[in-house]
Amino acid sequence: MEKSAEERGMWGSKLGFILAAAGSAIGLGNIWRFPYVTGENGGAAFVLIYIILVFGIGFPVMIAELSIGRHTRKNPIGAFEKLFPGSPWKFLGVLGVVTGICILSFYGVIAGWVFGYIFKTISGAFNNIETAQQAEIMHNEFTGNPVNSIGLFFIFIFLTSYVIYKGVKGGIEKWAKILMPALLILLILLIIRSVTLPGSSEGLAYYLVPDFSKINFETILKALGQAFFSLSLGMGTMLTYGSYISKKDNIVSSAFYVCLFDTMIAIVAGLIFFPALFALSMSPDQGPALIFHVLPSILNKFPGGQLFGAGLFILISIAALTSTVSLLEVPVAYVVDEKGWTRKKAVLVMGSLSFIIGIPSALSGNAVSFFTMLPVIGTDFLSLMSSVFGDFSLSIGSFFIALFVGWKWGVKNAVNEIEQENIEFKIKSAWRVFIKFICPIAILIIFINLVVNLF
Ligand code: PHE
């Protein structure tokens, strides 16, 4: 028997949905990934391209995902199966489920480190950290200890599983309402500290004055992958969250706010890290450990840094938790809806799977040298997972979602779904052009160029 929309559960209000979706979108992607990817890809010019891609590609794809979700009231695999039974489109859902498990597997590792830094801050471990090099050594010791890394990763997967197991939405909605404003306030205070450090202005210039000579197709692909990653697109998270939206709510304006809030937090995070990096005379391409190299060194120069730092790491942990919950929700919803598993079994199996797949990532921060520097590939295991699943898989998923809505399910059906209850979709002719042509073609061109460049 199919459950009614009410029985499956719904968001309490439009604001509730926006906050929950923003909770999924805002996370380590904004605070951990955006700064380091920006640092590796040339600074301001990358930021500009990123913003264009968020609103030009991400926003239309988000509208597409949300409308499939609300229309079918299903998880990603069930949704495609419901619209076109027996068609291969359901593999798009399968890709989403696999991607969710694999993103969680490395994301949970970083989240575990952040979680561990709460206690490090409280214990005063940063009090003697004067330079970024000292912070780096401390971080390497910390992640180089396999018991630490795997233990904290386990705790984080456990917390995520617990929230999902307890049945979710009420919880996610409530947390997001308090968390987002608090996080924003702490981040803004940190910006003030960062830009007033001597020598920070060079960092501001790096972050805000574009140098287009640093841009090539690979950086554009990175920006595209980062946009999908940060907006939680391309693997059915937004489709699943969309399945809990009321027909009275406006999908388009909700999607716009989610894109706006998410981008704001990322930009704000960059304003903390780049001025500080240059003030500390560090190069911007620190890779995934960037925030762990920078934060201790500036917290140390902050009045009440110990308490403030603990608060900051707690908030980043919660922001990460509202994202990991949305990652695990996709595979869980799938086996519960389609395979008739109990929620308990689903959470146990999917959570454990993610944990096992994540162990090499947890060991890739100096604990095991093989995973820290993979032969031939030349990066660490975690960065590899982040590229394969965070960039490629989400870009491919988004490409097919655009094709699906633009050409298979049809723009007309999507527009009908969006225009329920007398809501007018004002930009529908523009959206039609974007979802049918611009989004898929742009993603394809970027991909083809990358492959051509590889050879
Ligand atoms: N958007 C999340 C973040 O920025 C990560 C995420 C990706 C969550 C894909 C769900 C799906 O932290």
Amino acid (one-letter) located at 75 = N
Atom of ligand 1 nearest to the CA of 394: 9
What is the predicted pLDDT for the residue at 376? 86
Mutate which of 316, 327, 332, 388 for ligand 1? The one with the most ligand atoms within 8 Å of its CB, which is 327
User: Which of 444-447's residues contact partners 24+ apart within 8 Å by CB, and which partners?
Assistant: 444/399, 446/217, 446/220, 446/221, 446/224, 446/395, 447/221, 447/395, 447/399
Of 60, 42, 27, the closest CA to residue 266 belongs to 27
pLDDT in tens, 422-431: 889 999 999 9
Mean pLDDT value of segment 164-185 = 72
Mean pLDDT value of segment 254-271 = 95
Mean pLDDT value of segment 266-280 = 92
What is the predicted pLDDT for the residue at 170? 59
Handedness of CA 237, 266, 17, 438 (dihedral sign): negative
Q: Let me know: does 80 contact 240? Beta carbons within 8 Å.
A: no
Atom of ligand 1 nearest to the CA of 231: 1
Q: Rounded to whole angstroms, how far apart are CA atoms 97 and 378?
A: 28
Non-local (6+) Cβ contacts of 353 within 8 A are 101
Q: Is the pLDDT of residue 133 over 90?
A: no
Token couple for 219: 């950086």
Q: Rounded to whole angstroms, how far apart are CA atoms 21 and 75?
A: 15
Atom of ligand 1 nearest to the CA of 28: 12
DSSP code, position 49: H
Q: What is the largest CA-CA distance in the chain?
A: 65
What is the predicted pLDDT for the residue at 1? 47
Q: Rounded to whole angstroms, how far apart are CA atoms 362 and 36?
A: 19
pLDDT in tens, 194-207: 899 899 999 999 99
Is the beta carbon of 30 within 6 A of some atom in ligand 1?
Answer: yes
Indicate the pLDDT class of residue 393, thresholds 50, 70 and 90: very high
Instruction: Name residue, tokens 């919950």.
Output: 325
What is the predicted pLDDT for the residue at 3? 64
What is the predicted pLDDT for the residue at 366? 85
Is the beta carbon of 235 within 6 A of some atom in ligand 1?
Answer: yes
Q: Is the pLDDT of residue 46 over 70?
A: yes
**Angle (deg, nearest 10), helices 290-299 and 132-144:** 120
Is the beta carbon of 160 within 6 A of some atom in ligand 1?
Answer: no
Indicate which residue's Cα is closest to atom 11 of ligand 1: 232
Span from the CA of 43 to the centroid of ligand 1 (angstroms): 22
Q: Is the pLDDT of residue 66 over 60?
A: yes
Task: Identify the top-confidence range among 43-57, 156-170, 314-328, 379-393.
Answer: 43-57
- The phi and psi torsions of 378 (rounded to 5 degrees) equal 80, 10
Indicate the pLDDT class of residue 6, thresholds 50, 70 and 90: low
Is the beta carbon of 75 within 6 A of some atom in ligand 1?
Answer: no
What are the helix (H) ranges across 245-342? 251-279, 290-299, 305-339
Is the beta carbon of 148 within 6 A of some atom in ligand 1?
Answer: no
Is the beta carbon of 28 within 6 A of some atom in ligand 1?
Answer: yes
The overall average pLDDT reported for the chain is 90
Q: Let me know: does 260 contact 124? Beta carbons within 8 Å.
A: no
Q: Rounded to whole angstroms, how far apart are CA atoms 203 and 43?
A: 9
- Cβ neighbourhood burial of 154 (10 Å; 0-12, 13-18, 19+): middle
Indicate which residue's Cα is closest to atom 7 of ligand 1: 232
pTM of the model: 0.93
What is the predicted pLDDT for the residue at 208? 95
Is the beta carbon of 230 within 6 A of some atom in ligand 1?
Answer: yes
Span from the CA of 124 to the centroid of ligand 1 (angstroms): 31
Token couple for 231: 């907006």
Span from the CA of 29 to the centroid of ligand 1 (angstroms): 6
Indicate the pLDDT class of residue 118, thresholds 50, 70 and 90: very high
More confident of the two residues 167 and 66? 66
Q: Let me know: does 259 contact 92? Beta carbons within 8 Å.
A: no
Instruction: Name residue, tokens 């990096």.
Output: 277
DSSP letter string, 375-425: TTT-S-HHHHHIIIIIIIIHHHHHHHHHHIIIIIIIHHHHHHHHTGGG---
Is the beta carbon of 232 within 6 A of some atom in ligand 1?
Answer: yes
Span from the CA of 354 to the centroid of ligand 1 (angstroms): 15
Mean pLDDT value of segment 272-276 = 92
For the chain, the 3-state helix, strand and coil shares in percent, each to the nearest 5, are: 80, 0, 20
H or E, element range at 178: helix 169-195
